[in-house]
């Protein structure tokens, strides 16, 4: 600050430094997370790294300048709102967004985007064929955020995913995390039931007799197999365990899973690395109130993709939120009615925590 001319004297700069240090030490205040992670590392410790696409305003030229270092002019902001266009690889498109998100996550920041520009499942592509749909791309972004979270040095990725209530794929989006949570439940329960039956089957196999591996003759094995089939253990699993016993093994290890939020069960399903939010309008809420139908519209030509019950959509949102705490809601009409700078354009998204909508 002193070098940049932000203080009238070196004494003022020193006073600011001392007072800020005291407030931090006395826990009177705290900056946002990236301040702790990034600010001052180059100045105090000489920590540096190659340029990662950061820009800063040069205090001498007053011009936007691309940084040659990752930490000399670090990224100190916690939250961002980014746009995404319905384009696969161009600047501002889907894959470009994953790169921009990764750059922010790496240095401890979070980002939110409204993905409603991306066309829905089955919509026509300009080069022929049809789109794989919004959800296929959201799953890629979810995995990318999870990978950065797992290998990062700062904190978990903070990511907001917003979809408008009239998007063709909004029904699948509403139930996305619910279904993934159900998969976790199936993994946890199924793995433990399968382990129990696998151990019972291998214990019932009798290597001492010629027919000890035949459930038609070995009564204990027959009971174990019937019990396993009753609990819907796949037939190939049953036969594999018996084949394992024929090789001379008397016990079997079968991996089980638990519901810890950081467990392998959760890492194998999608939708776990973002806050998911549906953006609703006053028109939609009136349709719910009146029991009217609601149109889901295609992104390319704006034509009706599907007509559904507004109340059914609303019920799905409530039930999903009750089961897994997602999706959240953003009230588009009210947000823009309260927009203090409407000439800057319509607000369509927020940061990950949803407490601010624009700069």
Residue 151: pLDDT band (50, 70, 90) is: very low
> Are 282 and 176 members of one domain?
yes
Lowest mean pLDDT among 4-8, 90-94, 289-293: 4-8
In a domain, 350, yes or no: no
Q: Which pair of tokens denotes residue 302?
A: 């704006």
Angle, CA 146 vertex, CA 135 and CA 30 arms, to 5°: 120
Counting DSSP H helices and E strands in the chain, the numbers are 12, 9
Q: Which pair of tokens denotes residue 135?
A: 């959800």
> Are 207 and 168 members of one domain?
no
> Are 177 and 198 members of one domain?
no
In a domain, 159, yes or no: yes
Tally of domains within the chain? 3
Final residue of a structural domain among 21, 40, 66: 66
Lowest mean pLDDT among 148-162, 239-253, 278-292, 300-314: 148-162
Rounded to two decimals, the pTM is 0.88
> Are 126 and 192 members of one domain?
no
> Are 297 and 320 members of one domain?
yes
Mind telling me the catalytic residues? 351, 353, 355
**Residue 152 vs residues 114, 144, 155: alpha-carbon distances, Å:** 25, 12, 7
Residue 64: pLDDT band (50, 70, 90) is: very high
- β-pairing verdict for 79-81 and 110-114: parallel
Give the tens place of pLDDT for each residue, 163-175: 999 999 999 999 9
Q: Where residue 195 sits, what CATH number does that domain have?
A: 1.10.10
Phi and psi, residue 194, nearest 5°: -65, -40
> Are 284 and 240 members of one domain?
no
> Are 156 and 285 members of one domain?
yes
Mean pLDDT (the chain, rounded): 93
Three-state secondary structure readout of 24-47:
HHCCCCCCCHHHHHHCCHHHHHCC
> Are 237 and 324 members of one domain?
no
The whole-number pLDDT of residue 291 equals 97
Residue numbers of the domain that contains 56:
10-66
In a domain, 107, yes or no: yes
Rounded mean pLDDT, 265-277: 93
Which of 227, 182, 186 has its CA nearest to residue 204?
Answer: 227
């Amino acid at each position: 600050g002193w070098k940049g001319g932000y203080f009238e004297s070196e004494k003022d700069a020193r006073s600011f430094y001392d007072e800020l240090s005291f407030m931090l030490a006395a826990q009177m205040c705290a900056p946002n997370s990236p301040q702790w992670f990034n600010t001052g590392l180059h100045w105090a410790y000489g920590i540096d790294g190659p340029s990662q696409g950061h820009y800063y305003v040069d205090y001498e030229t007053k011009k936007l300048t691309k940084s040659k270092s990752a930490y000399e002019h670090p990224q100190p902001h916690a939250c961002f709102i980014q746009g995404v266009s319905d384009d696969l690889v161009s600047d501002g498109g889907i894959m470009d967004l994953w790169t921009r998100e990764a750059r922010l996550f790496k240095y401890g920041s979070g980002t939110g985007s409204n993905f409603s520009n991306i066309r829905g499942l089955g919509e026509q592509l300009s080069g022929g064929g049809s789109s794989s749909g919004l959800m296929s791309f959201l799953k890629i972004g979810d995995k990318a955020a999870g990978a950065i979270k797992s290998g990062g040095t700062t904190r978990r990725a903070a990511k907001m995913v917003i979809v408008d209530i009239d998007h063709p794929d909004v029904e699948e989006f509403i139930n996305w995390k619910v279904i993934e949570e159900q998969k976790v439940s199936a993994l946890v329960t199924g793995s433990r039931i399968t382990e129990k039956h696998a151990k019972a089957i291998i214990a019932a196999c009798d290597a001492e007799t010629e027919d000890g591996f035949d459930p038609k003759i070995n009564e204990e094995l027959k009971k174990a197999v019937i019990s396993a089939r009753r609990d819907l253990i796949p037939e190939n699993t049953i036969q594999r365990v018996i084949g394992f016993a024929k090789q001379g093994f008397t016990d079997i290890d079968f991996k089980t899973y638990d519901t810890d939020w950081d467990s392998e069960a959760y890492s194998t399903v999608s939708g776990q690395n973002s806050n998911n939010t549906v953006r609703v309008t006053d028109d939609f809420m009136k349709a719910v109130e009146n029991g009217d139908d609601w149109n889901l519209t295609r992104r390319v030509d704006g034509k009706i993709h599907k007509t559904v019950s507004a109340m059914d959509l609303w019920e799905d949102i409530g039930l999903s939120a009750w089961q897994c705490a997602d999706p959240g809601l953003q009230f588009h009409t009210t947000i823009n009615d309260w927009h203090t700078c409407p000439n800057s354009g319509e607000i369509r998204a927020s940061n990950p925590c949803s407490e601010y909508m624009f700069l």
